[in-house]
Structure 1
Amino acid sequence: MLGIGVTALVLNACSQKDCEPTAAAAPMATKENVKPIQWKLVTTWPKNFPGLGTAPERFAKDVERMSNGRLKIKVFGGGELVPPLEVFDAVSQGTAQAGHGAAYYWKGKVPAAQFFATVPFGLTAQEYNGWMHYGGGLALWRETYKPFGLVPYAAGNTGVQMGGWFNKEINSLSDLEGLKMRIPGLGGEVLQRAGGTPVNLPGGEIFTALQTGTIDATEWVGPYNDLATGLHKVAKFYYYPGWHEPGTALELIVNEKALKALPEDLQAIVEVAARAANQDMLDEYTARNNVALTELVDQHGVQVKRFPDDVIKALHKISDEVVAEIAGQDEMAKKVYDSFVEFRDRVVPYHELSEKAYIDARAQ
């Protein structure tokens, strides 16, 4: 009875004019009453390639679903709209509103970009995400891309990769001399210092290049992607660990003008969908790599080998020198490098007591 009395008082206090609907009470935007915004997203990956290529597709679906169809994104695989290694320029120039790839592909025009993909003997995926979202990495990344009119987001991580595919055994550092190997980013710089020849190729060209002898060896990602690419058909030895890519991050880059033209809620949806894609990819690789490796070994006879300790030690020494030198040649790269090293030096001692100590204990 008390509720009925209160309701009556409210209705009596409200005149007909006061109680009429206002503009503020307009219905929520829906697919039926708002024309959707259309975006193009270009990638460096083959269309729907497992993991790497499906991540931007999931991102686009998440954005459309969360926005109730107000923002629709059409995904183009590498070469469908622009060549794979021209994604950065295409989004910067507005040919597409967004892109998905790996930051080390742009090292020729943005030396600092390499640090936002992966650093040899650097951060793992978990450590990278900590630096990116709570250690200042993302702010530096956006500062780096600002002159190009781009806003970057972390949008995927493969975890620790494999060391690569070879048709000869690697028993010493001298076996890398004269080796033509598909290996991008800072890892390629290290290989060059060790006497090899790094080659930067998009994923869709690797198999043919190795098959025809254009390259002698290649790294790609890990068992899940390498099996799908068929690299076991053109190479005999599969090496680990992936010293060159300990936690490779993928990026979503968005044209800054296109992003700012969106309402705030759609901007937030893009951000949250990218964050979801970032975690989802790592989850998928963690689940699928072990299954794919078993198939490579048991069904295809792949020989899995570990790089000799002296090779790893030599590559580590070279890596430290190369990374520091590159940082010293570019002001922005130096700024990013200093932040990266500061975070690494803080997080590694703790992980020695936590992650690594636990994994060592579990193995006993």
Structure 2
Amino acid sequence: MHKLLPGVLLLAGIVQAQSWNMATPYPPGNFHTQNIQQFAREVEEATGGRLRITVHPGGSLFPHPQILPAVRNGQIQMGEVLMSLLANEFPIFNLDAIPFVATGYEEARRLYQAQRPEVERWLGQRGMVLLYAVPWPPQGLYTRRPVNSAQDLRGLRFRAYNPATARMAELLGMTPVQVEAADIPQAFATGIVEAMVTSAATGVDSQAWDFTRYFYDVKAWIPKNMVVVGRRALEGLSPQDREALLQAARRAEERGWRLSQEQEERAMQTLASRGMQVVRPSPQLLADLRRVGETMVLEWQRQAGAQGVQVYRRYLGR
């Protein structure tokens, strides 16, 4: 009996250790993915190897739209998604993707604080827990030719990545085409799209200088990614390991916000160094885009109802 005891103890240790899978749609070099990789390393270290998180970047495990359902169904334990991708399911997710609602990081943080209680409630009702959220750098306009007003955009095929960008395209007289970040170069190369609004960071990821010439720094909005975990997986951890995970998530959130701000300037410098024209938008183009934003805010408030209006007022401090 005594000879078997070490093996029994070893087996118990093996049973306690957990290996989780996490899916993200963004490539390994993206700052969101790198932040997640550091989060995973910190969790493994803090738990003494009892919890190992394998990160699957670039949509390699699930396409972007399937990541949250996979967490909800227990196929994977964790996932990262763009919050505004879920706008059709819950309008609160869409508020950070409406043009000119929040254009700076201080505004973006206030908006996140206003959204977070409702986001946590929605996820909780579906068996998931919000771990943290990190913003993208402000969104800019990429085109192949100069654009001085909304009139110059009419008729273009425009890359949409959520309901808000699709609606913006419609209001500007463009044709929205749904294209995920990983497919941007191919979409431009084949003529599926001719313009897009996205961050300078995504422009670097997709090597936008190969297919566009102009980046207009309109700072239209600051969307966020959120990292979620299945409640059953979280509750399956020991209290000690659960707290280690939550602590690492808090650090990842703060680190991610800092990385986003650092990334903005660095990415724009990279675009310029690769031959792109990084320019300020004309007053007319900004005015045209702001009018679209005002229309979309009104539409959003009607769609989101009293709950949404309350969140928006909370953000505005009213």
With normalisation by structure 2, the TM-score equals 0.86
Alignment of 1:265-284 (within 5 A): 265-284=240-259
In 1, the alpha carbon distance for the partners of 2:137 and 2:29 equals 17
Find 2:210's aligned residue among 228, 233, 239: 233
1:92 maps to what in 2?
72
Say yes or no: does 1:119 pair with 2:98: yes
Which of the pair has more CA radius of gyration?
Answer: 1
- Partners of 2:77 and 2:83 in 1: how far apart? 17
Q: After superposition, what is the alpha-carbon deviation per residue over 1:225-266, rounded to whole angstroms, capped at 9, x for unaligned? A: 4223211111111111121x2x32210111122222223333
Report what 2:260 is aligned to: 285
In the TM superposition, structure 1's runs of 4+ consecutive aligned residues that sit over 4 Å from their partners are 31-34
CA distance in 1, matches of 2:284, 2:219: 15
**In the aligned structure 2, how far is the partner of 1:152 from the partner of 1:281?**
15
Kept in 1, the 8 Å contact 2:25–2:60? The answer is no
User: How far apart in 2 are the matches of 1:53 and 1:196?
Assistant: 31
- The within-5 A match list for 1:1-364 is 35-46=16-27, 48-115=28-95, 117-123=96-102, 124-133=104-113, 135=114, 137-161=115-139, 163-185=140-162, 186-222=164-200, 224-243=201-220, 245=221, 247-297=222-272, 299-331=273-305, 334-345=306-317
Higher relative CO (Cα under 8 Å, sequence separation at least 6) belongs to: 2
Which segment is superposed worse, 335-344 or 35-44? 335-344
Contact 2:79/2:227 (8 A) holds in 1: yes
Encode CA deviations 1:179-237: one digit per residue, 9 max, x unaligned: 22113342432222221222332211011101211101123321x44223211111111
Change (3 A) 1:172 1:190: same
Q: Distance in 1 between matches of 2:32 and 2:316?
A: 26
Amino acid at match of 2:287: K
Deviation at residue 319 of structure 1 after TM alignment: 1.5
Q: In the alignment, is the contact (CA less than 8 A) between 2:83 and 2:223 conserved in 1?
A: no
- Can you list the C-alpha shifts for 1:161-196, whole angstroms capped at 9, x where unaligned? 3x1210122122112222221133424322222212
SS of the residue corresponding to residue 32 of structure 2 reads coil
**Alpha-carbon distance in structure 2 between the residues aligned to 1:270 and 1:114:** 28
Shift of 1:32: 6.1
Aligned CA distance change for structure 1 residues 284 and 202 (closer, same or farther; 3 Å): same
> Counterparts of 1:264 and 1:324 in 2: how far apart (Å)?
45
SS of structure 2 residue aligned to 1:96 = coil
Q: Distance in 1 between matches of 2:245 and 2:167?
A: 34
Give 1:33 shift: 7.8
Amino acid paired to 1:77:
P
How far apart, CA to CA, are the structure 1 residues paired with 2:64 and 2:111? 28
Superposed displacement of residue 118, structure 1: 3.6
Report deviation, 1:271.
2.5
Unaligned runs of at least 5 residues, structure 2: 1-11
**1:329 partner letter:** Q
Q: Give, in angstroms, the shift of residue 284 of structure 1.
A: 2.4
Cα 1:106–1:213 change in 2 (3 A) is same
The Cα shift of 1:91 comes to 0.9
Structure 1 residues without counterparts, runs of 5 or longer: 1-30, 347-364
Conserved in 2, the CA contact under 8 Å of 1:66 and 1:269? yes
| Partner Cα distance (2:132, 2:101) in 1 | 17
Matched residues in 2 for 1:227 and 1:81: separation?
23
Residue pair 2:301, 2:309 contacting (<8 A) in 1 also: yes
> What is the rounded CA distance, in whole Å, between the counterparts of 2:175 and 2:123 in structure 1?
29
Q: 2:214, 2:65 → 1: CA distance?
A: 28
1:103: Cα distance to partner? 0.9
How many residues get paired? 305
Deviation per residue, 1:101-143 (Å, 9 max, x gap): 211112233333223x54321233333334434x5x3211112
